[in-house]
Structure 1
């Protein structure tokens, strides 16, 4: 399941638009919008410090939060955010209201375990990660922290497909028309040879005849 939920405090904004957003930032806050669940959008202003650490702390887009707006608590899921391209501080955040039966599409990170138990990797093979994240459709209350790939027994040339991953109930990949690859174990030029005895070299003849040259 997803990370522990958290709570943020926000102020409602009466005005929207670029000018209003700039004014919010000058006051040390971050403009944001809450939308969805068949309700009108709600413009808010969040604490810069709070939202900065949440965004950069990991799991921001997969963790449900509660936002207190003037005493009214709203359950939300962060859907998107914008960062300053130079200074990396938050410029704007979009939140989706989470109702009782809300389902969402969300990118979930892929974690790999037991690399040391992969014969292919132990012999010098390389784990080639095709997808660091996979997009899933699932209930908002059942977003996985990550999907875990066990590399135990993985050999050179093996491919790991989505069909090999055990998913929680209600969690389905958005790409449903093919069994896509998540990672492969590929060979490398520095691979260690398998530990098998090399055949003994045949003894060379005592006197080898020179081949005759045809004229």
Structure 2
């Protein structure tokens, strides 16, 4: 289970309708609603500055939050919609959905690397590049992994590890329905440059005419 589900603090919004929403905005809050989970919808307010900071951090709609509201039990929620001002593009309303333990959701999960000490490519001076330091998975709310692991112990220089090399938790699957690269071992920049120079020398050598070809050309003249 993921150990770091961020808290999201909110306040109960007294009153409903446009009037209460406008007052919330004047007070520096963003009105919202929490729905689902076989419970009545709960009108809330969230501090504008805090919400804006989280939105700018990215992936707000794919992050699982532990919502804390005074007078109510903590509940896990995920954002389902953020309404914005048509001109200023600032948040004006936000919707959250309560999650049951069996609810399927899309989340970005960190990728950890195993087998680096035994990787032949790295031992030969190769450089590890994490193409996807995190991957988006479909998981259940009750079984969210803190991370997944990719094993690179068998990679040589030029080899890649794909999603097939990742041991995913039971019930989890990638949102991308194809094999894709997670990490790769590349040649160090110096070795790559040397290889390119050698290739250029080989091409240049192939373009130089042989002695026989030069003599034949001279005879024809």
Q: Which TM-score applies when normalising by structure 1?
A: 0.64
Indicate yes or no: 2:100 matched with 1:99.
Answer: yes
Q: For 1:158-173, what aligned pairs fall within 5 Å after superposition?
A: 158-173=159-174
Structure 1 contact 8–50 (Cα < 8 Å) conserved? no
Which segments of 5 or more consecutive residues in structure 2 lack a partner in the other structure?
Answer: 196-210
Contact 1:106 1:136 in 2 (8 A): yes
Deviations 1:161-204 (A, max 9, x none): 2221112233222345x33333333457633679xxxxxxxxxx
Task: Evaluate the alpha carbon distance shift between residue 59 and residue 115 of structure 1 in structure 2; reply closer, same or farther with a 3 A threshold.
Answer: farther
Any conservation in 1 of the 2:119–2:152 contact (CA below 8 Å)?
yes
- So what's the TM-score if we normalise by structure 2? 0.62
* Structure 1 unpaired stretches of 5+: 195-207
Q: Distance in 2 between matches of 1:48 and 1:117?
A: 49
How many residue pairs were aligned?
198
Which structure 2 residues correspond to residues 45-194 of structure 1 after superposition, within 5 A? 45-48=45-48, 51=51, 61-68=62-69, 71-79=71-79, 92-112=93-113, 118-120=119-121, 123-125=125-127, 127=129, 129=131, 131-176=132-177, 178-187=178-187, 190-191=190-191
SS in 2 for 1:160: strand
Q: Which has the higher helix share?
A: 2
